[in-house]
């Protein structure tokens, strides 16, 4: 199988293991079992639409390039790092992410429908879209396959602690987990907690620590020296 799995698949909670039927392995690999003619059918549709003048091929290329290289989690990481070092900015971010994004030089309207939600020692936020795959593209780019797939979509709302456990995150009993199901056009960015021991780092160095997973809410930000996952 192409996908590499983190240890949590073998360390998966009993409940999760009980749900996996013995011959389920491989059926959930969204991106593997592609009908052999799909590549051709897509090529065929693209050339048809170009031929009809409905789309511009250079525009298609530009759009792919934008999401492969320009728009991605580095955007969100900048926002998070700024919020960590600047309390006033954090306040403004939590009140209106759109304005806060503009402050950092993002094109106006980039944070249009974005809502930043703050993690704390007693509150942990987790984002999902159970109905499809809504995701804060502007700050995180396109979502990973696992976020868009049935296992996460189905379980995040009913067993968030089990899901977090599989990602290696164990939360204290007295913490509150808030799961945000992106049912409308609002998009959610988790503002993770600043890791302890990061006080002396520059804003740039802090941004480099912030992962996509932490901004979805399935991970915390850790310092590499502490043995955390990058």
Partner 1 sequence: MNSVHDMGGMHGMGPIKYEKNEPVFHARWEGRVLALTSAMGPWRLPGSSRFEQEQIPAAEYLRMSYYERWFTVLVERMVKGGLVTRQEIKSGKRAGGSPKAVPRLTAAQVRATPASAGRTDRPVVTPLFRVGQAVRARNMHPPGHTRLPRYTRGRLGTIDRDHGVSRPPDTSAQGLGAKPQHIYSVRFAARELWGEQAAPRDAVYVDLWDDYLEPA
Partner 2 sequence: MNGVHDMGGMHGMGAIHYEKNEPVFHARWESRVFALFRLTRAWNKWNVDVSRRQIESIPAAQYLRMSYYERWFTALGELLVASGLITRAELVKGKRARGSPKATPPITAAQVASMPSAAALARREAPVAPRFQAGQQVRARNLHPVDHTRLPRYARGKLGAIHRDHGVWAFPDAIAHFLSDKPQHVYSVRFAARELWGETASPRDAVYLDLWDDYLEPA
Q: Among residues 50, 60, 64, 150, which is the contact residue for partner 1, using CB under 8 A?
A: 150
Q: DSSP assignment of 123-140, as one string?
A: EEEEEE-SSS----HHHH
Partner whose binding site includes residue 202, from partner 2, partner 1, none (CB under 5 to 8 Å by kind): none
* Residue 36 known to be catalytic: no
Place of tokens 């293991």: 17
Q: Among residues 5, 21, 69, 200, which is the contact residue for partner 1, using CB under 8 A?
A: 21
The end-to-end CA distance of the chain, in Å, is 24
**Nearer to partner 2 among residue 124 and residue 194 (C-beta):** 124
DSSP state of 3: S
Site for partner 1, residues 154 to 193, rule: CB under 8 A = 154, 158
Our finding on whether 22 is near partner 1 (CB under 8 A) is yes
Helix and strand tally (H, E) in the chain?
Answer: 12, 4
DSSP state of 225: G
Q: Please, are residues 122 and 132 in contact by the beta-carbon 8 Å criterion?
A: no
Q: Among residues 1, 5, 10, 18, which is the contact residue for partner 1, using CB under 8 A?
A: 18
Binding region for partner 1 (CB under 8 A) out of 21-29, 106-114, 141-149, 208-216: 21-29
Partner whose binding site includes residue 94, from partner 2, partner 1, none (CB under 5 to 8 Å by kind): none
Our finding on whether 9 is near partner 1 (CB under 8 A) is no
> How far from chain centre, in Å, is Cα 9?
19
Place of tokens 């850790």: 222
* Residue 133 known to be catalytic: yes
H-run or E-run covering 188: strand 187-191
**Nearer to partner 1 among residue 34 and residue 58 (C-beta):** 34
Our finding on whether 28 is near partner 1 (CB under 8 A) is yes
Active-site residue (options: 44, 47, 108, 132): 132
Site for partner 1, residues 39 to 98, rule: CB under 8 A = none
H-run or E-run covering 200: none
User: Helical H runs in 36-159?
Assistant: 38-51, 57-65, 73-85, 87-95, 97-103, 137-140, 145-148, 150-158
* Residue 149 known to be catalytic: no
**Nearer to partner 1 among residue 63 and residue 158 (C-beta):** 158
d(CA 197, CA 142): 31
Q: Which residues are catalytic?
A: 129, 132-134
Residues lying near partner 1 in the complex (CB under 8 A) are found at 15, 18-19, 21-24, 27-28, 150, 154, 158
């Amino acid at each position: 199988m192409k996908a590499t799995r983190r240890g949590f698949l073998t360390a998966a909670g009993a409940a999760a293991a009980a749900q996996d039927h013995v011959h389920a392995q491989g059926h959930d690999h969204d991106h593997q079992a592609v009908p052999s003619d799909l590549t051709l059918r897509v090529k065929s549709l693209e050339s048809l639409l170009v031929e009809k003048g409905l789309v511009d091929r250079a525009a298609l290329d530009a759009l792919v390039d934008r999401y492969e290289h320009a728009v991605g989690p580095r955007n969100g990481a900048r926002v998070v790092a700024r919020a960590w070092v600047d309390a006033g900015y954090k306040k403004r971010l939590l009140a209106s992410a759109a304005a806060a994004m503009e402050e950092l030089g993002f094109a106006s309207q980039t944070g249009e429908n974005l809502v930043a939600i703050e993690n704390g020692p007693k509150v942990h936020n987790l984002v999902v879209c159970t109905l499809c795959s809504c995701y804060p593209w502007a700050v995180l780019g396109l979502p990973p396959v696992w976020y868009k797939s049935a296992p996460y979509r189905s379980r995040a709302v009913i067993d968030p602690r089990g899901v977090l456990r599989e990602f290696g995150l164990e939360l204290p009993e007295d913490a509150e987990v808030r799961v945000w199901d992106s049912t409308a056009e609002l998009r959610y960015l988790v503002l993770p907690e600043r890791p302890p021991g990061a006080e002396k780092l520059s804003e740039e160095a802090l941004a480099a620590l912030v992962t996509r997973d932490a901004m979805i809410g399935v991970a915390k930000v850790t310092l590499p020296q502490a043995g955390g996952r990058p």
